C-alpha cells in the first residue's frame, strides 16, 4: 500500500481508512504519521479523570510539536490499533 500524504488523509479520510487502521505500526509510522495510545477505557467504557487529563496533555504536546516543525501533520483520535 502506498503511503498517502497527510493532506490526502485529512481530505479523504474514508479512502485512507485502511491506511489509518493498519495492524502493524511499521507500515503506518514514518515522518508524518505516528500513533500514540491516548488512554484506555475502563471496563464500563468510561475514561477516568486522570486518563482524560493524560489524553489532553498528549494532544497539547503533539500540537506543539507540529507547530514547531516545518512539516504538516494530522492527529487522528479514537482510531484503535485493535480494529481487527
Contact yes or no for 19/3 (Cβ under 8 A): yes
pLDDT single digits (tens) 22-75: 888 888 887 778 777 767 777 887 878 888 888 888 888 877 877 777 766 666
Residue 30's pLDDT is: 78
Q: What share of the chain in percent tops pLDDT 70?
A: 81
Give the whole-angstrom CA distance, residue 58 versus residue 53.
Answer: 9
Q: Which alpha helices (H) appear in the chain, and where do they start and end?
A: 6-11, 17-20, 49-67
Burial class (CB within 10 angstroms; exposed 0-12, middle 13-18, buried 19+) of 55: middle
pLDDT at 84 over 50: no
C-alpha cell at 11: 481530505
Amino acid at each position: 500500500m502506498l503511503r498517502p500524504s497527510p493532506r490526502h488523509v485529512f481530505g479523504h479520510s474514508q479512502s485512507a481508512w485502511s491506511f489509518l487502521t493498519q495492524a502493524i505500526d511499521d507500515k503506518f509510522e514514518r515522518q508524518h504519521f505516528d500513533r500514540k495510545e491516548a488512554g484506555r477505557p475502563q471496563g464500563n467504557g468510561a475514561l477516568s479523570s486522570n486518563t482524560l487529563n493524560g489524553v489532553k496533555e498528549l494532544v497539547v504536546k503533539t500540537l506543539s510539536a507540529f507547530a514547531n516543525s516545518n512539516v504538516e501533520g494530522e492527529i487522528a483520535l479514537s482510531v484503535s490499533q485493535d480494529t481487527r
